Amino acid sequence: MNESNTISPTLQMTVNKMTGDMQFVGIFYIIGGALECLSIIGAIIGIPLIICGLRIRESADSFKGYLTTSDSSMLERALERQGRYFFIQKVLIIISIAVVILMIIFWIVIGISLLSNFSHYRSI
């Protein structure tokens, strides 16, 4: 990769805006995760949310470090932390989809059993 010690002003503005947004999102993930952890069952979701918040904030800090030092290792660390954040998000999305599908199946089974019971009482 061709390394240059100068970073364009457009890139600096973009990264500054992005890191601010990342810090904001990270704080809310941490707060939301902490609130989820107030219940034992909620901790199953809360702990990964806290980890997501920490990873995205670490990524933002590394991006800021890259802006000030132009050190490519800071950029690598930022991207690695951001990659971990997206991996955890992907796992949470897959789990959420699976839970929704199970809930739909559960409610369909409940509905069918209620309808069959209703038709049984109607014939009496």
Residue at 86 is within a domain: yes
Residue at 123 is within a domain: no
Q: Which domain holds residue 52?
A: 9-92
Residue at 116 is within a domain: no
For the entire predicted model, the pTM comes to 0.77
- Which residue, 107, 111, 110, is CA-closest to 99? 107
At how many degrees (to 10) do helices 43-69 and 9-36 cross? 160
Residue at 124 is within a domain: no
User: What pLDDT score was predicted for residue 6?
Assistant: 75
User: What pLDDT score was predicted for residue 1?
Assistant: 45
Residue at 22 is within a domain: yes
Report the alpha-carbon distance of residue 83 to residue 89 in Å, rounded. Answer: 10
User: What pLDDT score was predicted for residue 122?
Assistant: 63
Task: Provide the token pair at 70.
Answer: 């132009």
Residue at 115 is within a domain: no
Domain count, the chain: 1
User: What pLDDT score was predicted for residue 4?
Assistant: 54
Each residue's pLDDT tens digit in the chain (124 positions)?
Answer: 445 567 788 888 998 999 999 999 999 999 999 999 999 888 888 999 999 999 999 999 999 999 988 888 999 999 999 999 999 999 999 999 999 999 999 999 998 888 887 766 665 5
User: What pLDDT score was predicted for residue 2?
Assistant: 47
Residue at 50 is within a domain: yes
Residue at 61 is within a domain: yes
User: What pLDDT score was predicted for residue 19?
Assistant: 93
